[in-house]
Structure 1
Amino acid sequence: MTSQDKSLNSDSKKHSHHDHDHHDHKNCGHHHDDHHEHDHHDHENCTHDHHNHEHGPHCNHEHENPEKYQRHTYNSEELANFNSQGVETLILSVNDLLENEYYGKAVPILEIISLKLISSSADLAVHLFETKHHLALSYGIIGEHDKSLPLWKEVIAGLEKQDDIHETLEAYYNAALSAEQAKEEKDFLMYLNNGLEIAKSKELEEWVATFEHELGVHYFDNNEFKTSEAKLTKAIEIFTKLNEDESVISSYYYLAYLYEKQNNISKAKETYEKGLKLSKEESIRDFVEYERSLIEERLSNLQNSQLQNKLLNF
């Protein structure tokens, strides 16, 4: 991939809503009942291109505060203190950490909570499920994907039994991100395709477009251009209908780049220009500065290449 590819895949995703805000920890007593239909999308900060994001939501955030995004090592006295506390007290403590995105500090406490719940004789199945849900997400965020992926399988199975469609789709999406970072392509595609089929069956168009976009970018990366074009075109169609302009810009970028790779320069320029025009709309221009700069760079490169070819053929 080119440097431009990697730039869009990583830096523009550092602070997307998909990164950390999957759960409303402000109102969470270790439950997930407060999610609204589209809490998983913050389109002011998210353009859906989460593939190959070297510094994205499910990686080791080495460039950021290690207390937040790398596993924290508590000393023996601190661990003894945690182990002496009851589950409810620990849950309150961990929710405070999660609310402030201290995932590295939260994970060891979540692990203690999990062990306490597993060994308890009381019926604490709900708490255990919610703890595993938090752990699946938090492991992914701190980059421990080998631990995240097995938990996502449990979490998804549990959510499907609860018939919580939006939480289920979010879990499929997050599981796909962890699978991608763990380089488990088979699981990555399985989660995206399963999520897509569920979203289609429930006619949840924004989720349909999100999964279509992710699949389109995957096939773009693997030079499967026909499939990629179909997926990205579908995403653009739905995002446009829903007036999700920031998301449309991202899909336009990849579709244009696809045409460029196929040497269909006129179509590439036309598609880049659609994305560029949209990125200058007053209502969103401040939120898509980075994406706009990438499109402008691609257009400039195309124009320079065409000029060089003219000079060579003069």
Structure 2
Amino acid sequence: MANITAGMVKELRDKTGAGMMDCKAALNEVEGDIEAAIDWLRKKGLAKAAKKAGRVAAEGLIGLAVSGTEGVVVEVNSETDFVARNEQFQQLVRGIAAVALATADDVEAVKAAAYPAGGTVTDAINSAVATIGEHMALRRSKKLGVSAGVIGSYVHGSVGEGLGKIGVLVALESTGKQDELAALGRQIAMHIAAASPQGLDAASIDADVVAREKAILAEKAQASGKPANVVEKIVESGLKTFFKEVTLVEQAFIHDPSKTVAQAVKESEGKVGAPIKLAGFVRFGLGEGVEKQESDFAAEVAAAAGV
């Protein structure tokens, strides 16, 4: 039997909102596997979907740069939040974003690209590490572009121009009025920052994610004794609800919840004066999916003092 710690129970409770004893039981059932425990709780009707954004975040900054019909978002991590407020680190992140905008859409290519102050991006990071005294790393970089239209952008938790805790780009393809498109693009980018969609539409959601959701819906329906034909309808209905929650085009628009994002885009075509295609988006939240080891500060002080 797996050794189930209090920390594991707390992590599962934070991610699901389920009761402590239910979390402990779930972990015992699945030999301590957190993701499997989340599914176990959901099948029992004791938890909602895993809150991926609730994972402990790494520190650092998200950097964003837009020029014409192209934009890029980068994530540069550091060990502490203090570094994010350091002017040298902020300048480094801005510089990396500028380089990434002019480089192939590949994080390794960005690391190897020339940095304006000399050397490569990797050299610039290493130099900052030596000066500031903390480990730093370019974790990811993603570009977005359109042939005609605008790249809308938004930075949440901003600490400076193009820098913050969440960075969003959204691609709107259109030959319409640029100012109207830009205003719409910012509104949608703000929506994405708040609603955190998993994909543009149903077709863009990972097949494994959809299969997992179907399995959970089916098992819950079967557990209630429903016949096969009813289970199938319940799963179909559940998936429709799921897609409304996780796909950008079907989410209720935060600026007007009476309509979906897709409807808001369609209605904006009159102002823009041309058809609009919502072509894609990028959303980087600082430290998404990165587990940071938490320390007991009091215990560390006691240990250092030999208590």
Task: Please report the TM-score for the alignment, with normalisation by the length of structure 2.
Answer: 0.23
Q: Which has the higher strand share?
A: 2
Mark the structure with the bigger radius of gyration: 2
Of Structure 1 and Structure 2, which has the larger fraction of its residues in helix? Answer: 1
Higher RCO (C-alpha under 8 Å, 6+ residues apart):
2
**TM-score normalised by length of structure 1:** 0.23
